[in-house]
């Protein structure tokens, strides 16, 4: 649909120029065709969890603070803020010229409403636990306190105050996440569930939602009421959903995409030769891991989980499947966070042969082997890269007497299944930092987290995480407590980390402002196109 539209636009422009006609203003429109490797499940900021949704929502909405093209923290809906001496009270001053796309003012009450809605149990937000550092947020989410008892209040229309239980070093950066974005209560009250539809969605960001054709594209148009609209260089952003990475490369080559957020890594050498420095690969703060159903027989046995994890040859997967564009991973928290040393799996320094021997011993002790195979299903979301990773693990486990079957679904279905606590054995997942702090990688394994796909539940882990939260004002103590928590998680094999991410982008040389950074954040607000 969008593909034909793009061809028609190019044809019309060609005819105009061939006949000596001046380009009309509509044909001078700057359009950014932005490839997206999966379909968003929703554009409701409080009901999303993936990076695919985050890219779009970052264009539609603006939180109190945001990130620029280098992923540096910048003012958003709040033009300034102050922090109390004890680090627990944040006072935000909202912009006087900040308005919704319908022209109504963005007020402190909008953020109060949004924070309350995120914690409302009825919302069932996966990211509700993100706000737990706020006074009484957890209690509201658990039904033990009223929303008005939360540590957030509007001092006046343009002044918002947030009170935390303890100093939280990553709090400001956390507010760049879509779960903390404001939503327009008046629109929601008027339209009910239709508030999120194209033409209805009232947002406060750089762009507005014009179209959403499932499995094809999402069209955003510049918001003329955005407080900084005059600086925006792109008129329209077309998010083109394409899970087939190889097909995306062909569309990029044909000029139908200006960028795409992944690469078929088995073609990486050829792609670099063909596209040169338009191929962008670099360090990305994220972990490629497998969730494992820790509350299901036989996977509730930590020994069995560890045997499977030990038998996975991460070096092979990194080198052969991912063409050395990813690094072997043995911890949930990737390296690169200042002041933190990840707690590695106990076997990280052992040779692969020794790991496999130990894995065989454990499996034999538990009664499994070639004569009595362990049956295991791996679920993964659509991607040549994920399929090749799963097939490699299937082959690596076969000699140990593990019969692996593979189940593939599209990304939206895959993550919806995990979020709804579906019945599975092992499932591919990835976690990209919401903020540059170990907590973002460890918090997803807390019992209360909606992103705890493994259903991991460890009192010892919870205790260490609680200590870390309480030690917010003591950085060294806090990092030690977080490392203690990760040590418990790794020893329990509550998750199976396999790789540390790199970003894999292809970016047209016509684009400017798409700056490489470890968060792989590229707001369309800062993009220009020749």
What is the average pLDDT across 289-309?
98
CB 92 within 8 A of CB 64: yes
CB 283 within 8 A of CB 334: no
Q: Residue 14 has what pLDDT?
A: 35
Largest Cα–Cα distance of the chain, in whole Å? 81
Q: Is the pTM of this model over 0.75?
A: yes
Average pLDDT, the chain: 94
Q: Where residue 356 sits, what CATH number does that domain have?
A: 3.10.105.10
| 73-87: pLDDT as tens digits | 999 999 999 999 999
Range of the domain at 79: 2-240+508-529
Q: What is the 3-state secondary structure (H, E, C) of 175-222?
A: CCCHHHCCCCHHHHHHHHHHHHCCCCCCCCCCEEEEEEECCCEEEEEE
d(CA 213, CA 127): 27
Provide the 8-state DSSP code for 513: S
Provide the 8-state DSSP code for 106: P
d(CA 27, CA 8): 12
d(CA 320, CA 388): 10
CB 206 within 8 A of CB 527: no
Q: Where residue 58 sits, what CATH number does that domain have?
A: 3.40.190.10
Q: CA 244, 416, 214: angle at the middle one, nearest 5? A: 50
Same domain, 31 and 91: yes
Radius of gyration of the chain (CA): 24
Q: Residue 27 has what pLDDT?
A: 55
Same domain, 72 and 196: yes
Q: Residue 28 has what pLDDT?
A: 86
Same domain, 51 and 181: yes
Q: Residue 473 has what pLDDT?
A: 87
**Residues near 18 by Cβ (< 8 Å), separated by ≥ 6?**
none
Residue 366 domain-assigned (yes or no): yes
Residue 267 domain-assigned (yes or no): no
Instruction: From 111, 120, 104, select the one nearest 182 (Cα to Cα).
Output: 111
List the end-to-end C-alpha distance of the chain, in Å, as a whole number: 25
Q: CA 64, 67, 68: angle at the middle one, nearest 5? A: 130
Residue 265 domain-assigned (yes or no): no
Residue 276 domain-assigned (yes or no): no
Q: How many domains does the chain have?
A: 2
Q: Does pLDDT of 368 surpass 80?
A: yes
Residue 273 domain-assigned (yes or no): no
Q: Residue 18 has what pLDDT?
A: 35
What is the average pLDDT across 25-53?
91
Burial 482-496 (b: 16+ CB within 10 A, else e): bbbbbbbbbbbbbbb
CB 206 within 8 A of CB 523: yes
| 104-127: pLDDT as tens digits | 999 999 999 999 999 999 999 999
Q: Does pLDDT of 24 surpass 60?
A: no
Same domain, 341 and 458: yes
Q: Higher model confidence: residue 339 or residue 4?
A: 339
Residue 255 domain-assigned (yes or no): no
Same domain, 483 and 336: yes
| 177-196: pLDDT as tens digits | 999 999 999 999 999 999 99
CB 472 within 8 A of CB 465: no
Q: Residue 448 has what pLDDT?
A: 94
What is the average pLDDT across 294-306?
98
Q: Does pLDDT of 506 surpass 70?
A: yes
Same domain, 183 and 121: yes
At residue 330 the predicted structure's pLDDT band, cuts being 50, 70 and 90, is: very high
Residue 375, phi then psi, degrees to nearest 5:
-95, 130
Q: Residue 472 has what pLDDT?
A: 87
Provide the 8-state DSSP code for 372: B
Same domain, 210 and 300: no
Residue 277 domain-assigned (yes or no): no
| 237-250: pLDDT as tens digits | 999 999 999 999 99
Q: Residue 74 has what pLDDT?
A: 98
| 375-387: pLDDT as tens digits | 999 999 999 999 9
Residue 278 domain-assigned (yes or no): no
Same domain, 21 and 132: yes
CB 266 within 8 A of CB 323: yes
Same domain, 342 and 226: no
CB 135 within 8 A of CB 163: yes
Element (H, E) at 71: none
Q: Does pLDDT of 10 surpass 60?
A: no
Same domain, 398 and 496: yes
Q: Does pLDDT of 228 surpass 90?
A: yes
| Extended beta strands in 436-523, E state | 495-507, 511-512
d(CA 348, CA 326): 17
Same domain, 234 and 300: no
Provide the 8-state DSSP code for 105: B
d(CA 79, CA 59): 18
pLDDT > 70 fraction of the chain, expressed in percent and rounded: 95
pLDDT > 90 fraction of the chain, expressed in percent and rounded: 94
Same domain, 83 and 25: yes
What is the average pLDDT across 395-424?
96
């Amino acid at each position: 649909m969008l593909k034909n539209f793009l061809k028609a636009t190019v044809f019309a422009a060609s005819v105009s120029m061939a006949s000596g006609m001046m380009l009309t203003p509509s044909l001078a429109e700057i359009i950014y065709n932005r490839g997206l490797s999966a379909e968003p499940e929703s554009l409701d900021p409080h009901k999303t969890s993936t990076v695919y949704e985050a890219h779009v929502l970052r264009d539609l909405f603006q939180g109190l603070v945001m990130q620029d093209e280098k992923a540096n923290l910048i003012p958003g809906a709040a033009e300034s803020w102050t922090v109390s001496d004890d680090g627990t009270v944040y006072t935000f001053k909202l912009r006087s010229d900040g308005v919704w796309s319908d022209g109504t003012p963005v007020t402190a009450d909008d953020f109060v409403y949004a924070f309350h809605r995120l914690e409302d149990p009825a919302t069932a937000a996966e990211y509700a636990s993100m706000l737990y550092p706020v006074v009484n947020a957890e209690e509201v989410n658990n039904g033990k306190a009223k929303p008005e008892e939360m540590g957030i209040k509007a001092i006046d229309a343009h002044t918002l105050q947030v009170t935390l239980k303890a100093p939280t070093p990553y709090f400001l950066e956390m507010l760049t996440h879509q779960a903390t974005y404001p939503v327009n209560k008046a629109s929601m009250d008027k339209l009910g569930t239709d508030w999120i539809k194209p033409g209805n969605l009232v947002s406060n960001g750089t762009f507005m939602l014009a179209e959403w054709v499932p499995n094809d594209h999402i069209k955003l148009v510049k918001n003329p009421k955005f407080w900084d609209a005059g600086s925006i260089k792109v008129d329209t952003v077309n998010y083109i959903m394409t899970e087939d990475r190889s097909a995306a490369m062909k569309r990029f080559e044909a000029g139908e995409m200006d960028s795409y957020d992944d690469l078929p890594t088995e073609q990486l050498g050829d792609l670099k030769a063909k596209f040169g420095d338009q191929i962008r690969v670099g360090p990305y703060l994220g972990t490629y891991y497998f969730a494992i159903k820790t509350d299901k027989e036989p996977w509730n046995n930590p020994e069995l989980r560890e045997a499977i994890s030990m038998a996975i040859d991460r070096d092979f997967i990194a080198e052969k499947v991912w063409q050395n564009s990813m690094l072997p991973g043995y911890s949930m928290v990737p390296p690169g966070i200042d002041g933190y040393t990840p707690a590695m799996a106990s076997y990280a320094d052992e040779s692969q042969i020794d790991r496999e021997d130990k894995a065989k011993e454990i499996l034999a002790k538990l009664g499994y082997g070639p004569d009595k195979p362990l049956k295991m299903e791996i679920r993964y979301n659509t991607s040549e890269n994920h399929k090749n990773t799963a097939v490699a693990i299937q082959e690596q486990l076969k000699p140990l007497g593990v019969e692996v079957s593979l189940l593939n679904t599209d990304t939206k279905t895959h993550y919806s299944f995990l979020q709804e606590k579906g019945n599975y054995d092992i499932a591919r997942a990835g976690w990209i930092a919401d903020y540059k702090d170990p907590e973002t990688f460890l918090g997803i394994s807390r019992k209360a987290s909606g992103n705890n796909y493994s259903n991991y539940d460890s009192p010892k882990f919870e205790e260490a995480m609680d200590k870390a939260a309480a030690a917010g004002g003591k950085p060294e103590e806090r990092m030690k407590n977080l490392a203690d928590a990760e040590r418990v998680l790794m020893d329990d094999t509550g998750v199976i980390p396999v790789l540390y991410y790199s970003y894999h982008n292809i970016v047209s040389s016509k684009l400017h402002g798409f700056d490489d950074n470890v968060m792989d954040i590229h707001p369309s607000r800062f993009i220009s196109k020749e």
